[in-house]
Each structure stands twice: as structure tokens, then as C-alpha cells.
Amino acid sequence: MDERNFTYMFYGFAAVWLCLAAYVVSLAAREKRLRQQLDGLRKLVEDRGEKR
Amino acid sequence: MRERFIILFTGFAAVLLVRNLYVMLVKLPDEAAQGAIFRIIFFHVPAAWTSFLCFFAAFVCSILYLAKRNLRYDAVALATTEVGLAFAAGNLITGMIWGRIIWGIWWTWDPRLTSMLICWLLYAGYLMLRRAVEEPSQRARISAVLSIFAFVDVPIVFFSIKWWRTQHPQPVVWGGGTMDPSYWNMLFLNWVPLILLAVVLILIRLRQEEAQREIDAVRRWAHAL
């Protein structure tokens, strides 16, 4: 019981960090999408500028 | 300025967390009845408080959005809801792990557990709803109404252990629960880094939302050229 008690305590600690880590990963993925959108936008503005 | 706050808060939170983990695992003794698993409370309760603070901020910003129609309030409501949901998930999962050892079950349809799960689902629904509506002002208006409605559940979660007979322990801050002062101090000391982390995550998410809005505006302008 005692060993299991201790193991589950670590599972609990890990669970909090995993939840926050999952959110940080989602933030990083969103950051990457924003950069891709920005690159696409830069290209679009350059193309429009050349056409004019 | 915002970058400086993010770095400063992250550093401060990291130092505090390392210090708290050391005290929690090395200095504080096991609780007499529950043993080592009791230490889960140092993350379980502050995670709940942090999520409630975030949901309260989302509630206030949603009211402000409906009153002033400024999309900045909508962005803050979105950022605080997302971060609050991450902390609420941490609270629910740590509670389940504690319950597995103390109650012998992962889950029970107890008023506190059920109302917290409903709270999580309501705010998850808020985020799903936002994806379903394209037009920004319409999305902000509908989301603000849902956020205000969802916040009604937060006091229900808080008071559920007072209003109904429940398996969940009585509150240690206000109610029948008691705790040794050294545990008590750790509970509050560990809340500080979690709040700092929440602020950092909100600032990062807010920056992303602002960048997204600027990109959308420039795209509309570029198409109009």
C-alpha cells in the first residue's frame, strides 16, 4: 500500500505537468501556424505589389 | 515589456516550484491517515483555484465585451478560458488519482466531482463553439453569452460540498476540514507559481490571438488591393 501510495503521488504530480505541457505544445503548434500564415501573407502582398 | 514579464514570471515560477517540490518531498512528513498521496493536495487544490480565477476573468471580460463591444475583451476571455481549462483538467485528473488510493475508485458521481466535470465540459464547449462561428463579432457575442452562462457552474462547484452530502473531503480553507500549519503554508506557497504560470500562458495566448487578428486584417486589405 505504501509503495503504491508513493507511486500514485508521482502519477498525480506528473498529471498536472502533462496537462500544462500538452497546452504548451498546442501553443507552440499555433505559433507555427501563425508563422506559416504570415509567410503566405507576405507572398500574397508581394505578388499583388508586382501586379500593380 | 510583455516579453520581459513572461521571462521574469517563468523564472520566478520555476525557482519557486523547485523549492516547493524539495520541501514537499523531503521536509514535509507523510500525512498520518493518508500517507504520501496526501501531497497531491498541493497541486490539486491550487490548480482548482487557478482555474476558477481564470474562469472569473473570462466572465468579467465577457460582460465587458457585451457592454463595450471591444474585441480585446473577447481575446482575454478566450486566453483565460483556455488556460483555466488546462488547470481544471489537472485538478480533475489529480483528484481521480487521489480517489483511486483513498476511495479505491477512480470516479464517483459525487456532487463535487460531477459539477467540476460539468464545468470542464461547459468551457470545452465554449472553445468548440468558437471554432464553429466564422464571423468575429458574432463569434465574440455568442461566446460571451456562453461564458457568462458557464460561470454559473463555478459557485455550484465551490459550494457543492456545503449544499449536498458528499464523499469529497470538506474544504480546508473554509469549512470543516483542518490541516497542519506546515501543510497549510505549502498549499498557498504552491499556488503562487501556478498563478505565475497561468499569467505567462495567458500572455502568450493573448499575443497569438492579437497576431491572428492582425494577420486576418492584413489579408483582407491585401485581397482588396
ipTM, 2 decimals? 0.87
Q: Classify B181 in phi/psi space as left (phi over 0), alpha (psi -120 to 50) or beta.
A: alpha
Q: Does A50 touch chain B (CB under 8 A)?
A: no
Is A33 part of any domain? yes
Quick one: pLDDT at residue B175? Answer: 61
Is A12 part of any domain? no
Is A29 part of any domain? yes
- Using a CB–CB cut-off of 8 Å, the residues of B that contact A are 34-37, 39-40, 43-44, 47, 82-83, 86-87, 89-90, 93-94, 97-98, 100-101, 197, 201, 204-205, 208, 211-212, 215, 218-219, 222-223, 225
Quick one: pLDDT at residue B174? Answer: 65
| Contacts for A17 with CB less than 8 Å, ≥ 6 apart | none
Is A5 part of any domain? no
Is A42 part of any domain? yes
Q: How many residues does chain A have?
A: 52
pLDDT tens by residue, B149-196: 999 999 999 999 888 888 888 766 666 667 788 888 999 999 999 999
Structurally, how many domains does chain A consist of?
1
Is A11 part of any domain? no
Rounded to an integer, what distance in angstroms lies between the CA atom of residue B80 and that of residue A44? 33
Is A46 part of any domain? yes
Of B64, B59, B116, whose CA–CA distance to B87 is shortest? B116
Rounded to an integer, what distance in angstroms lies between the CA atom of residue B5 and that of residue B203? 9
pLDDT tens by residue, A12-48: 999 999 999 999 999 999 999 999 998 988 888 888 7
Is A13 part of any domain? no
Alpha carbon of residue B175 to chain centroid: 22
pLDDT tens by residue, B94-112: 999 999 999 999 999 999 9
The three cell numbers of residue B219 are 489579408
Rounded to an integer, what distance in angstroms lies between the CA atom of residue B134 and that of residue B124? 18
Residue B35: strand, helix, or coil: strand
Taking a C-beta distance cutoff of 8 angstroms, is the pair B59, B84 a contact? Answer: no
Structural domain including A42 reads: 18-52
